[in-house]
Chain A
């Protein structure tokens, strides 16, 4: 796990469900074939109604045209991020698009588990309403050891909630790596 995560912010509202993160019609592509995997990047966050994507102005696309990577690598969102279906394709799509960390006020359980156990993006929780003070495009810098995020565009630093007991799984790279490290797997 990186000790510093730096990138541009993409700001969203509350209750961003997995259908908005990756619409159901796209769940048919392979998650292992390299030629198809990029399609998950192309359609990441394509279900967000345009006016609600890239706050506060809105109408800022997460992915431009036919590209598969986003210029934005840190998602800032309100409460209940990742609610809805269990599709692991959702954190997978964000990862393929280049997202390294998500900072939301809270998460739905399955999405949170998927982020941690699948080793996709780091799911941070913020104590403050960061999606009201950070603008899409702001340059952000997360200090993993200090549990802080600095907005380099406004020179303001905010506290993040510590990752707690899941930090070890995230640091290991996911549940399989962690289970091997802790000798929890019977096989292999």
Chain B
């Protein structure tokens, strides 16, 4: 029987030839990801349920990437890092990336890709809703809570309901003013924040396969914003090249069958689309940038797993070179590797870091930072009635700190153009 790529990957993890959408199956887990916010309570549940001396099912398959509350004076946040360190040590976890050391990486979803943990055909669970990001590599990735994660820690298994799939096809050649962020915000406006609840969102079409991996990750990253269980893009040559440069582990390529069943299919031509934002206070509150251009902003924020990758900063640098920002503009690289690249990568002969500093932006250390507000001393946290244009993924009330603030989700091009004018601005004005 015909299957989607998601069904095929889950069938493999369930030791089956075929799984049907809607059935619940027990899956063998390839990687469990956790971080500083959800790791400590997960470890507590693990010890409570499996005993104080229990060992995790496979210390090679647990990846612990502290990233949420790193550069803060908050003592409770520091305690969480201590708890991660202690657990990693007693369990002999090979993949723990400690804060304050050479091993520290930054935002987990981007670091997973950089460190070669994303392998086509595998199953990843993580204690973070944006674990779906890894689906850009033709694998299954989804978020879970602490209890489920503790269950995996002890058994290496978890039950999951096989999702139905929705297919999104993007035809045409991507114009320079359009980004993956605009595509996913377009989708969110069309299907709303619960349009894909419990479903797989599969991306296809020539525009998708022309995108570099980091842009594909922006698409799959925000599948959760539509309620999606996972976002997925079949691995092609570009994906394989990325993976092989970072891992020598075996992997398996899967494709959806031509006659696989879909819950629904959406088809777009990227030439018909234009830059969009999600207005406060929901990621599906879409408007073209043109229609809201001129709206005054108080901050521009370029960062996070969604919009803090090297490709995002390349786009922002194109707009910001030789310009001056007129509002507070935070540049927050997702990872240490992205931060280093800001110094080594250039646009028109100038390093990205210098372009940002010359334009008056402030460049922060790599972490999740103000994407989710965080402790009071977090860089870029919104205050009072801030109006923020941000490359992050969520804009529900209070998400970036202040519940009286409004957040416009946008592409790095739109966030950069708006930083210059102090008003929401279509990036085509600067391209």
Q: Which positions in A face B, CB cutoff 8 Å?
A: 15, 17, 19-20, 23-25, 27-32, 47-49, 79-80, 83-89, 91, 106-110, 113-114, 117-118, 165, 174-176, 179, 184-188
Contact = CB atoms under 8 A, between A and B. Distances in A.
B69 A28 contact: yes
Contacts of B146: 31, 88, 114, 118
B54 A188 contact: yes
Contacts of B50: 187-188
Contacts of A87: 37-38, 145
Contacts of B40: 30-31
B128 interface: yes
Given A15-B282, A19-B396, A118 B129 contact: no
Interface residues of B, number: 52
What does DSSP make chain A's interface, helix, strand, loop or mixed? loop
B367 to A, nearest CB: 13
Nearest to B396: A17
A15 B197 CA distance: 12
B127 interface: yes
6 contacts: A88-B147, A89-B41, A109-B197, A114-B145, A114-B147, A117-B151
Most buried by B among A23, A113, A165: A113
A187 B373 contact: no
Contacts of B144: 86, 110, 113
Contacts of B54: 187-188
B155 interface: yes
A88 B148 CA distance: 10
B147 A47 contact: no
Contact of B197 (A80, A84, A91, A186): A80
B216 interface: no
Nearest to B146: A88
B286 to A, nearest CB: 15
A20 B399 CA distance: 8
Nearest to A110: B143
Given A19-B373, A19-B397, A179-B151, 15 more contacts: A17-B394, A19-B399, A20-B397, A25-B373, A25-B376, A25-B401, A47-B403, A49-B398, A83-B227, A106-B194, A109-B197, A110-B129, A110-B143, A113-B145, A188-B51
Given A83-B227, A188-B54, A20 B396 contact: yes
A28 B80 contact: yes
Given A80-B197, A86-B145, A114-B147, A109 B374 contact: no
Given A110-B143, A175-B151, A185-B155, A23 B193 contact: no
B99 to A, nearest CB: 14
The 10 closest A-B pairs by CB, nearest first: A28-B76, A88-B145, A114-B145, A86-B143, A118-B147, A80-B194, A17-B396, A88-B146, A31-B41, A86-B129
Interface of B: 24, 26, 37-38, 40-41, 44, 49-51, 54, 68-69, 74, 76-77, 79-80, 126-129, 131, 143-148, 151, 154-155, 193-194, 197-198, 227, 229, 282, 372-376, 394, 396-399, 401, 403-404
A20 B403 CA distance: 9
A15 B374 contact: no
Given A28-B375, A47-B403, A188 B49 contact: yes
B194 A83 contact: yes
A118 B229 CA distance: 19
Most buried by A among B51, B79, B145, B146: B145
Nearest to B51: A188
A168 B282 CA distance: 35
Given A176-B151, A187-B155, A83 B193 contact: yes
A107 B145 CA distance: 15
A80 B79 CA distance: 33
A29 B76 contact: yes
A27 B193 CA distance: 24
A77 B134 CA distance: 32
B154 A185 contact: yes
B109 to A, nearest CB: 12
B151 A88 contact: no
B64 to A, nearest CB: 16
B210 to A, nearest CB: 31
Contacts of A80: 193-194, 197, 227
Given A24-B374, A25-B375, A79 B194 contact: yes
A107 to B, nearest CB: 8
Contacts of A27: 37, 68
B372 A85 contact: yes
Contacts of B143: 86, 110
B155 A186 contact: yes
Nearest to B80: A28
Nearest to B393: A84
A50 B237 CA distance: 51
A84 B148 CA distance: 17
